[in-house]
Amino acid sequence: MPETTTIKLSFCTGNPHKVAEVQAAFAQKLPGYVIEQQKIPLQELQADTLEEIAIFKLQSISQHLRPPFFIEDAGFFVDDVLRGFPGVYSHYVMDTLGCEGILKLLGDSSNRKAHFEAVIALMDNDNIIHTFKGVNQGTVSLEARGTSGFGFDPVFISDDTPGKTFAEIGMDAKNRISHRSRALEKLIEFYRR
Amino acid sequence: MPETTTIKLSFCTGNPHKVAEVQAAFAQKLPGYVIEQQKIPLQELQADTLEEIAIFKLQSISQHLRPPFFIEDAGFFVDDVLRGFPGVYSHYVMDTLGCEGILKLLGDSSNRKAHFEAVIALMDNDNIIHTFKGVNQGTVSLEARGTSGFGFDPVFISDDTPGKTFAEIGMDAKNRISHRSRALEKLIEFYRR
């Protein structure tokens, strides 16, 4: 019988839905890896990029947990007209202004270019940091539409699914093309090498 | 002749205008204190309050500098309609959305309540942290007006100077009533005791 090894990877997040998504992806594409949720209260830095924030978090986690462990963070960026806003502050802006705030800020602007971005940051067994970025390009819709998903999904139309917002295409379709799934794909690729 | 002692206080900021304002206030109200500017690159936390961010900064400064030292941070809060936005993220929102963004978000809302807030955080000789908060209550104007000051001054009408924005009353008048001067007054009061 061939020897089977199990490798444990800690995913530091408070969100059980993200854990389930990552576990399902590993189970399908790279069996033998066990994803364990770790709930560690994390401080978030104010910085320009998701990567900077993620690296700061990894370093603070390393005081409490043995690697390998990873985190995931995402943001919604309205590229030209709002100069990347809300970007790394998407959670805060969702809580204060919501989708309606984004629509008001854009008004009837014809340039509605936007993207979602996710960064997975990993500290490996040798305490080396790796980051994996996933992006989905698209535009801001003229009004909020759809009920699935969360966050800015109702006002984002991916270039991959023209005419429908992320909240209208359903979770399964979204999970196949989302920024998060693309970052996750790169993490799995890293461990497959 | 009476003995004169000079007490040195470090002000950690990259902004020479703030240093000049603090030096002038101490020179007038509490001579014998020397305010020295210290330029230390600081990391900013994502948090709900200016106090949390300030305390995090003090703790990181304490790895490089001997107390007593202090920092100052400020924010613009649109209280009800924008749930406190842009608050602790005022610098970022100024850079991305500017005053126009605030006006768009408020639209023709009749509730335009807003305030400026400044927090000075001090680490004293005994490594004890003290915070001093200054507030100026007012409303958001219907359009940007005035050229003095900076940040959200052109869209803020203080209850202390009805009908004129912070950018229309001139720096001297603003410095007498501003959130920053009120926090500074409390710091000076602390050392006067």
For residue B35, the Cα-to-chain-centroid distance in whole angstroms is 17
Residue A6 above 90 pLDDT?
no
Cβ burial of A69 (10 Å; 0-12, 13-18, 19+) is: buried
Beta bridge partners of B178: none
Contact A16, A44 (CB under 8 A): no
SS3 (DSSP) at B146: coil
Higher pLDDT residue, B5 or A172?
A: A172
> Across residues A67-88, what is the average pLDDT?
96
Taking CA–CA distances from B79, the nearest residue in chain A reads A96
Q: Which two tokens stand for residue B182?
A: 């009120």
Residue A67 above 90 pLDDT?
yes
Of A63, A181, A33, A163, residue with least CA distance to A118: A181
Give residue B17's pLDDT.
85
Global pTM reads 0.84
* CA atoms of A7 and A21, how far apart (whole Å): 18
Q: How many CB atoms lie within 10 A of CB B62?
A: 14
Higher pLDDT residue, B7 or A145?
A: A145
- Cβ-defined contact of B56 to A43 (cutoff 8 Å): yes
Contact B23, B35 (CB under 8 A): yes
Q: What residues of A are in contact with residue B43 (Cβ under 8 Å)? A: 45-46, 56
> Across residues A148-171, what is the average pLDDT?
95
Question: Domains along chain A?
Answer: 7-192 (3.90.950.10)
* CA atoms of A61 and A54, how far apart (whole Å): 10
Q: How far is B80 from chain A (nearest CA, A)?
A: 10
Give residue B160's pLDDT.
97
The tally of CA atoms less than 13 A away on the side-chain side of residue A168 is 15
* Cis, bond preceding B68 (omega within 30 deg of 0): yes
CA terminus-to-terminus distance, chain A: 24
Instruction: Assess: ipTM above 0.85.
Output: no
Residue A2 above 70 pLDDT?
no
Q: Kindly state the DSSP code that residue A116 receives in the 8-state scheme.
A: E
Give residue B36's pLDDT.
95
Catalytic residue among B73, B124, B126, B172: B73
Q: What residues of B are in contact with residue A46 (Cβ under 8 Å)? A: 43-46, 53, 89, 92
Q: What is the pLDDT of residues A89-115, one digit of tens each?
A: 999 999 999 999 999 999 999 999 999
Q: Which two tokens stand for residue B28?
A: 């007038």
Residue A183 above 80 pLDDT?
yes
Count each helix (H run) and each strand (E run) in chain A, helices first.
Answer: 6, 8
pLDDT tens string, chain B, 193 residues long: the values are: 555 678 899 999 998 888 998 999 999 999 999 999 999 888 888 888 999 999 999 999 999 999 999 999 999 999 999 999 999 999 999 999 999 999 999 999 999 999 999 999 999 999 999 999 999 999 999 999 999 988 999 999 999 999 999 999 998 899 899 999 999 999 999 999 8
Give residue A151's pLDDT.
94
Give residue B43's pLDDT.
84
Give residue A4's pLDDT.
62
* Cis, bond preceding B41 (omega within 30 deg of 0): no
Is residue B73 among the annotated active site residues? yes
Average pLDDT over all residues of chain A: 93
Contact A98, A151 (CB under 8 A): no
Q: What residues of B are in contact with residue A83 (Cβ under 8 Å)? A: 95-97
Give residue A136's pLDDT.
98
CA terminus-to-terminus distance, chain B: 23
Q: Kindly state the DSSP code that residue A153 receives in the 8-state scheme.
A: G
Give residue A142's pLDDT.
97
Largest CA distance in chain A: 65
Q: Which two tokens stand for residue B26?
A: 């101490």
Contact B179, B116 (CB under 8 A): yes
Q: Kindly state the DSSP code that residue A85 receives in the 8-state scheme.
A: T
Q: How far is A26 from chain B (nearest CA, A)?
A: 31
- For residue B82, CA distances in Å to A90, B78, B96, B101, B140 come to 15, 6, 17, 12, 11
- b/e B94-110 (16+ beta carbons within 10 angstroms → b): bebbbbebbbebbeeee
Residue A3 above 60 pLDDT?
no
Beta bridge partners of B165: B157
